[in-house]
Structure 1
Amino acid sequence: MPPKGQLRDPSLKRSLTLFRAFLREQQDPDHTYTLLARDAADQVESAYGPLAGRTVVDVGGGAGYFTREFQRRGAEAYLFEPDAGELGERPDAKAVRADGYLLPLADGVADVAFSSNVLEHVDDPATFLSELVRVTKPGGLIYVSFTNWYSPWGGHEWAPWHWLGADRAVARYRRRTGRRPKHTLGENLFAVHVGPTLRQVRARHDVRVLSARSRYWPFLAEAVPKVPVLREFATWNLLLLLRRCP
């Protein structure tokens, strides 16, 4: 086990398991997101210690897979989600419909502020990150991951054709499926990049970067995001682990 605050590179078996699950996401979302929630909770505990008795806020957690996994491990976990449709017909009792830009929480109430694959869906990532930091207590952990634009999955359901331009990728998706895509660039999907995000976070005085890594790579997970240009394509999904400073 690595020291608290650090993550070791995950195994090839773990990466392959997650990749296979993502290939079945449309057919079996329960399996995919239950598996991903367990993996994310493992990462949080590696960086911060056991979740039992901790207060966790899951911002933009959709149907609540991550929230339920945190609760299963003994955390006081709360879900904040702006889209009522994502919450489903029977949302968790501790689910709140709220915007990630303005969380209905006092300063410093959370041990862990958690956000998985949300940053690419907000048009002002800096404000979103600031709100996560605000609600986290000094010494607490901020966990943020997002799919960067030039990742093979950056265009989401119309990837990887987004590399040829969003309009062309969307047109191809509509021809192939006969329906409109869920995501529209500039409305609910935004081009967020690794380099600018890292520079923005490192310039802050209220957080310390514990780790900036590719979330799913089985090796050299922290090395890939350090290489300009390459990181924009090879990171796939950037994971930031931040410590809230006093």
Structure 2
Amino acid sequence: MAVTDLFARRATLRRSVRLLGEFRYEQPDPDRFYGALADDTAAMTADLWAGAHAGADLGGTTVLDVGGGPGYFADAFAARGARYIGVEPDPSEMHAGPTSPAGSTGSFVRASGLALPFADASVDICLSSNVAEHVPQPWRLGAEMLRVTRPGGLAILSYTVWLGPFGGHEMGLTHYLGGARAAARYTRKHGHPPKNNFGSSLFAVSAADGLDWARSTGALVAAFPRYHPRWAWPLTAAPGVREFLVSNLVLVLSPSTMATPLPEGSQKT
């Protein structure tokens, strides 16, 4: 069984439409948006884990979530029996959810994803959801994720591709004018800079760079567009086009897989 076989069944057009509909609630109703995103992320992770481990569930696994923010993801993973550890450098993000970290179902550590305070090979799953585009050294983040993941475990790195329609985050499609220009335009319009400010908390990360890095590790087992239906996954293997249409790229790596890097868009059984 390929690691993505189970999740591919879940990756339907109906799921894509449902998630797209949830995005409009990110600002007016963050509990609804992040709750739905957390549930979908936990389901995706569970499917990938089962695909890699002969149908096993997440019960008893340790999940390290790099950039996990408030407790939405903690609750979603706890519901599946996993031990959740969230890493977040910004204390205001830790307390942005409906419950404080102290009242959540997981453990939380204030630290940078670029220097994780965890031992080598110490967790079963290391997850990073939409964080790589917010750090100046995204592949250093990826290397740290691989370092702390045990042999046979999974490192799941998902990030927003800069040239995709959501690359500008709250700046909308103005990022196609250039990141600095889009940030200046947003500031003039709203009277304050965007939360995700280009060059300081938002960076232009491409699909090609992520795939090149992942292949260079020798640990890549799958790469696919996170929110697309299964029939659209071949976009990942289309240079140029993927930068605009993949939107959010998922890289799945396993430290036990140290063979020849895979071709683009392929998956290893």
TM-score (norm 2): 0.86
Bigger Cα displacement from structure 2, 89-98 vs 135-144: 89-98
CA displacement, residues 153-187 of structure 1 (integer Å, 9 cap, x when unaligned): 10111021110112332233233323321122111
Q: Which amino acid aligns with 1:70?
A: F
Q: Which residue in 2 is equivalent to 1:70? A: 77
- For the 8 Å contact 1:4–1:48, the answer to whether it is kept is no
- Distance of 2:205 and 2:71 partners within structure 1: 24
Matches within 5 A, 1:48-87: 48-49=49-50, 50-87=57-94
Q: Check 1:59–1:150 CA distance in 2 against 1; reply closer, same or farther (3 A cut).
A: same
Q: Which amino acid aligns with 1:151?
A: G
Secondary structure of the corresponding residue to residue 17 of structure 1: helix
**1:118 matches 2:131:** yes
Matches within 5 A, 1:1-246: 3=1, 5-6=3-4, 7-8=7-8, 10-49=11-50, 50-88=57-95, 90-91=100-101, 92=104, 94-205=107-218, 207=219, 209-245=220-256
CA displacement, residues 103-130 of structure 1 (integer Å, 9 cap, x when unaligned): 1111111110010000001111121111
Note the residue ranges of structure 1 that are not aligned, 5 or more in a row.
none
Query: In the comparison of the two structures, how many residue pairs are matched?
Result: 242
- How far 1:4 moved relative to its partner? 5.9
Give the 4+ runs in structure 1 shifted more than 3 A. Answer: none
CA displacement, residues 24-62 of structure 1 (integer Å, 9 cap, x when unaligned): 110011111111111111111111121111011011011
- Distance of 1:20 and 1:31 partners within structure 2: 11
- For the 8 Å contact 1:4–1:46, the answer to whether it is kept is no
Secondary structure of the corresponding residue to residue 89 of structure 2: coil
- For the 8 Å contact 2:122–2:148, the answer to whether it is kept is yes
Bigger Cα displacement from structure 2, 91-100 vs 141-150: 91-100
* Aligned-residue CA RMSD (Å): 1.5
Secondary structure of the corresponding residue to residue 112 of structure 1: strand
Secondary structure of the corresponding residue to residue 222 of structure 1: helix
TM-score (norm 1): 0.93
CA displacement, residues 200-225 of structure 1 (integer Å, 9 cap, x when unaligned): 110113x2x22211101124343011
- For the 8 Å contact 1:211–1:240, the answer to whether it is kept is yes
- For the 8 Å contact 2:180–2:199, the answer to whether it is kept is no
- For the 8 Å contact 1:37–1:65, the answer to whether it is kept is yes
- For the 8 Å contact 1:211–1:222, the answer to whether it is kept is no
Higher helix share: 2
Sequence identity (%): 42
Secondary structure of the corresponding residue to residue 189 of structure 1: coil
Secondary structure of the corresponding residue to residue 220 of structure 1: helix
